[in-house]
């Protein structure tokens, strides 16, 4: 059984740009069929299982569970904070400052991550459309359970990218994150994509809402999977 990009993205609860990033950076198996990308169900199931990545719906959806062990977005954002009205030219310095605040790691590890951040091609900017991007370090690392961070950067001018965003809308909203493990990295990509696709988070960030409203939206996104699970069980 083969699926296209749209079907696969819907199964994992992410946007199509995230699937493109998985192909490019995480080795997601795919088949080029003329101008289409197709995904073999068995290959994708194996790839996802190796990374501990669970589908949200559709052909790979797991049985309902009562708990979720993934990172909490609200907690991660409290560690990374929200930076407002930032010139796009200052983004590298802002991201380096965020890395310097990464909890749960030693100074040498922070220095190593900063070097990766500054290296050519060290950041995957991951634009997901409508002016948003989910930048992260291209090289994942196992940092420890308590070392994740999420930071929101609101720009007052467009971020210059080597390739244009998928919908052509200039990127002015960044959700930069560092995950504690490669598995958590994929989970965070899925969680952030789902939070932007559902609920008020996208609108709140677009209008640069107050910090407390943004944090509340992330808290609601953290609680949403548990709520949906209870409804499914009922």
Please tell me whether residues 170 and 93 are part of one structural domain: yes
pLDDT, tens digit, 9 for 90 and up, residues 160-183? 998 888 888 999 999 999 988 878
For residue 201, is pLDDT > 90? yes
Q: What is the mean pLDDT of the chain?
A: 83
For residue 62, is pLDDT > 60? no
Residue 107 domain flag? yes
Helix ranges restricted to H, 119-200: 182-197
Q: What is the pLDDT of residue 167?
A: 87
Please tell me whether residues 182 and 110 are part of one structural domain: yes
Residue 66 domain flag? no
The DSSP letter of residue 156 is S
Domain count, the chain: 2
Please tell me whether residues 88 and 167 are part of one structural domain: yes
Among 27-41, 85-99, 110-124, name the most confident range.
85-99
Residue 219, token pair as written in the block: 């808290």
Selection from 179, 188, 113, 189 nearest residue 144 by Cα: 179
Average pLDDT over every residue of 179-199: 85
Place of tokens 């190593």: 112
Boundaries of domain holding 170 = 73-233
Residue 67 domain flag? no
pLDDT grade for 207, boundaries at 50, 70 and 90:
very high
Distance CA 3, CA 40 (A): 7
8 Å CB contact between 229 and 64: yes
Task: Say which CATH number the domain at 221 has.
Answer: 3.40.930.10
Task: Say which CATH number the domain at 22 has.
Answer: 1.10.1660
Distance CA 166, CA 23 (A): 16
pLDDT grade for 225, boundaries at 50, 70 and 90:
low
Please tell me whether residues 44 and 132 are part of one structural domain: no
Distance CA 131, CA 170 (A): 5
Please tell me whether residues 19 and 80 are part of one structural domain: no
Residue 202 domain flag? yes
Please tell me whether residues 8 and 88 are part of one structural domain: no
Please tell me whether residues 167 and 212 are part of one structural domain: yes
Residue 82 domain flag? yes
Q: What is the pLDDT of residue 82?
A: 97
- What DSSP string runs through 148-176? -EEEEEEESSPPP-SS--TT-PPP-EEEE
Statement: the pTM of the whole predicted model exceeds 0.75: no
Please tell me whether residues 15 and 92 are part of one structural domain: no
pLDDT, tens digit, 9 for 90 and up, residues 6-59? 888 877 777 888 888 889 888 898 887 667 788 888 788 888 877 767 655 555
8 Å CB contact between 98 and 116: no
Selection from 212, 132, 145 nearest residue 176 by Cα: 132
Q: What is the pLDDT of residue 93?
A: 94
Please tell me whether residues 49 and 93 are part of one structural domain: no
Average pLDDT over every residue of 175-198: 86
Domain termination residue (choose one: 21, 39, 60): 60
Residue 65 domain flag? no
Distance CA 215, CA 41 (A): 37
Q: What is the pLDDT of residue 229?
A: 36
Average pLDDT over every residue of 126-136: 91
Q: What is the pLDDT of residue 156?
A: 94
Decide which of 190 and 233 is more confident.
190
Decide which of 228 and 177 is more confident.
177
Distance CA 59, CA 8 (A): 9
Please tell me whether residues 196 and 91 are part of one structural domain: yes
Selection from 194, 81, 175 nearest residue 126 by Cα: 175
Please tell me whether residues 47 and 77 are part of one structural domain: no
Please tell me whether residues 43 and 89 are part of one structural domain: no
């Amino acid at each position: 059984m083969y699926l296209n990009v749209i079907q696969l993205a819907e199964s994992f609860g992410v946007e199509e740009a995230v699937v493109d990033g998985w192909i490019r950076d995480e080795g997601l198996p795919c088949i080029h069929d003329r101008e289409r990308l197709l995904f073999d169900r068995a290959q994708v199931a194996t790839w996802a299982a190796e990374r501990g990545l669970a589908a949200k719906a559709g052909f790979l959806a797991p049985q309902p569970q009562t708990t979720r062990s993934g990172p909490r977005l609200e907690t991660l954002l409290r560690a990374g904070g929200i930076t407002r009205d930032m010139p796009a030219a200052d983004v590298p310095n802002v991201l380096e400052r965020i890395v310097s605040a990464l909890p749960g790691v030693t100074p040498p590890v922070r220095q190593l991550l900063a070097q990766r951040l500054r290296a050519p091609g060290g950041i995957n900017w991951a634009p997901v459309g409508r002016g948003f991007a989910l930048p992260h370090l291209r090289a994942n690392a196992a940092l420890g359970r308590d070392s994740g961070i999420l930071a929101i950067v609101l720009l007052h001018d467009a971020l210059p990218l080597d390739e244009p965003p998928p919908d052509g809308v200039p990127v002015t909203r960044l959700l930069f994150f560092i995950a504690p493990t490669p598995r958590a990295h994929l989970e965070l990509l899925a969680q952030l994509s789902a939070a932007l696709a559902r609920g008020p988070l996208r609108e709140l960030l677009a209008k640069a809402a107050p910090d407390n409203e943004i944090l509340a939206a992330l808290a609601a996104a953290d609680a949403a999977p548990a709520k949906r699970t209870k409804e499914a069980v009922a």
